[in-house]
């Protein structure tokens, strides 16, 4: 199995631009999670899906952030408009049946 796949691995954009991060979970996994990691705040859960349905988006910082999961093999996290304080590493993770979570390599986002 290829594991959780994220793209792009690095993204540099200017403030105000739209950013879209992509994730492909492990085949057969039914839950998908988006996390953000910064030095100041550590790892924070932004949103998670179960069977493609958003269950809890209470961690999404504000309305500029949105996430979708149109099917079992693909999810996006969109930031519009982006701001410098959104700079972080964004991780996607997946799991099956509430067991071990498997993380992708992350997307390092820099907003200038």
Partner 1 sequence: KQEVTQIPAALSVPEGENLVLNCSFTDSAIYNLQWFRQDPGKGLTSLLLIQSSQREQTSGRLNASLDKSSGRSTLYIAASQPGDSATYLCAVPLSGGYNKLIFGAGTRLAVHP
Positions in the binding site for partner 1 (CB under 8 A): 31, 33, 42-43, 45, 48, 50, 55-56, 91, 93, 95, 98-106, 108
- The tokens for 75 are 């999810």
Provide the minimum distance between the beta carbon of 63 and partner 1 in the complex, in angstroms, as a whole number.
22
Listed residue (87, 88, 66) closest to 75, CA to CA: 66
Which residue lies nearer to partner 1 by CB, 74 or 103? 103
Shortest reach from residue 16's CB to partner 1, in Å: 27
Q: Which is nearer to partner 1, 51 or 80 (CB)?
A: 51
Please, which residue, 58 or 71, has the CB nearer to partner 1? 58
Q: How far is the CB of 54 from partner 1 (least distance, A)?
A: 11
* Dihedral sign of CA atoms 109, 64, 78, 72 in order: positive
Give min distance, CB of 97 to partner 1, in A: 9
- Asked if the peptide bond before residue 26 counts as cis, ω within 30 degrees of 0, the response is no
């Amino acid at each position: 199995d290829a594991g959780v796949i994220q793209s792009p691995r690095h993204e540099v954009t200017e403030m105000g631009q739209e950013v879209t991060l992509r994730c492909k979970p492990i085949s057969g996994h039914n839950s998908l999670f988006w996390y953000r990691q910064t030095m100041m705040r550590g790892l924070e859960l932004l949103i998670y899906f179960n069977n493609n349905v958003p269950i809890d988006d209470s961690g999404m910082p504000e309305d500029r952030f949105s996430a979708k999961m149109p099917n079992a093999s693909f999810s996006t996290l969109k930031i519009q408009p982006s701001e410098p304080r959104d700079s972080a590493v964004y991780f996607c993770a997946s799991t099956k049946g509430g067991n071990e979570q498997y993380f992708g390599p992350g997307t390092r986002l820099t907003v200038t």
